[in-house]
């Protein structure tokens, strides 16, 4: 096995963790699962699958992923979400890259997401390249909740093969995630002192739709591409709309 740790944060993921962990079996020396407040058997399932489980509170996406990164012990870390799996082609690329003695400090991966029963290969959903494989020393998670971003100090390469992503169990879960994440994102804007004007609320969603559906060829995914461009625009509208409404409430408060 490679000098590699796999870091996963999880809450209520007992049904999806087995596929994630199985996809790295025989690839990594350790799997670390940081679990927080699950109402299902997430911790027990992870332990039964051979992972080292760290149980803790929930400080936010960025802080929790940094905890998972810091809990790893191998020189290289592959950061996964519980709803992701390493494809055989990607596993082969990781073996090849780490076996050759890397001259970079991280690798970006293409993420192939599935939605409503099919893979989405266009729009803003693909190739959706993410830095996920990093040299542990010098790596950290940054960004703004809930949109975290893995960072390294040195050069970054790119690996072949896809990280397979099943982000939503149902359309209802997708809509609930949009509601939850836009509330978090609006709060982050407020904490950063970022204000939202009418142009943000009116134009940013339109620009997102044009980018996702036309410029990035989301139309090639048929009805799925149209729905996802619309949902993405709705996310942007809710994020900036919530921030704008919060500003108005603050000005009107006695």
Condensed to tens digits (0 to 9), the pLDDT of residues 186-205 reads 999 999 999 999 999 999 99
- Contacts of 117 by beta carbon, 8 Å cutoff, 6+ apart: none
Backbone angles phi, psi at 145, to 5 degrees: -60, 140
Pairing of strands 106-115, 130-135: antiparallel
Looking at residue 249, what is its pLDDT? Answer: 67
Other residues' Cβ atoms within 10 Å of the Cβ of residue 218: 28
- Contacts of 143 by beta carbon, 8 Å cutoff, 6+ apart: 62, 149
pTM above 0.75, yes or no: yes
Looking at residue 101, what is its pLDDT? Answer: 87
Looking at residue 248, what is its pLDDT? Answer: 76
Looking at residue 1, what is its pLDDT? Answer: 81
Q: Where are the domains of the chain?
A: 2-165, 171-252
| Residue 165 β-bridge partners | 84, 113
For tokens 């809450």, name the residue.
Answer: 11
**Model confidence band, residue 254 (pLDDT cutoffs 50, 70, 90):** very low
The architecture CATH gives domain 2-165: Alpha-Beta Complex (3.90)
Looking at residue 253, what is its pLDDT? Answer: 45
DSSP string, 21-64: HHTTTTTEEEEEEEE-S-SSSHHHHHHHTTPEEEE-----HHHH
Looking at residue 74, what is its pLDDT? Answer: 98
């Amino acid at each position: 096995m490679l000098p590699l740790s796999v870091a996963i944060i999880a809450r209520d993921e007992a049904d999806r963790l087995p596929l994630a962990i199985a996809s790295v079996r025989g690839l990594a020396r350790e799997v670390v699962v940081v679990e927080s407040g699950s109402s299902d058997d997430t911790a027990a399932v992870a332990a039964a699958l051979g992972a080292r489980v760290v149980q803790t509170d929930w400080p936010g996406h960025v802080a929790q992923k940094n905890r998972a990164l810091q809990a790893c012990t191998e020189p290289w870390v592959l950061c996964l979400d519980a709803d992701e799996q390493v494809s055989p082609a990607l596993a082969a690329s990781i073996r090849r890259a780490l076996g050759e003695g890397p001259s970079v400090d991280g690798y970006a991966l293409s993420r192939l997401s599935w939605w409503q029963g099919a893979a989405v290969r266009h729009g803003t959903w693909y190739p959706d390249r993410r830095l996920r494989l990093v040299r542990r020393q010098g790596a950290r998670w940054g960004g703004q909740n809930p949109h975290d971003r893995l960072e390294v100090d040195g050069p970054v390469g790119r690996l072949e093969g896809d990280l397979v992503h099943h982000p939503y169990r149902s359309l209802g879960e997708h809509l609930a995630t949009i509601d939850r994440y836009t509330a978090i994102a609006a709060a982050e804007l407020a904490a950063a002192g970022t204000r939202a004007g009418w142009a943000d609320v009116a134009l940013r969603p339109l620009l997102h739709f044009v980018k996702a559906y036309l410029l990035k060829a989301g139309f090639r995914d048929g009805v799925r591409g149209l729905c996802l461009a619309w949902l993405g625009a709705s996310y942007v509208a809710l994020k900036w709309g919530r921030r704008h409404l919060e500003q108005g409430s603050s000005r009107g408060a006695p």
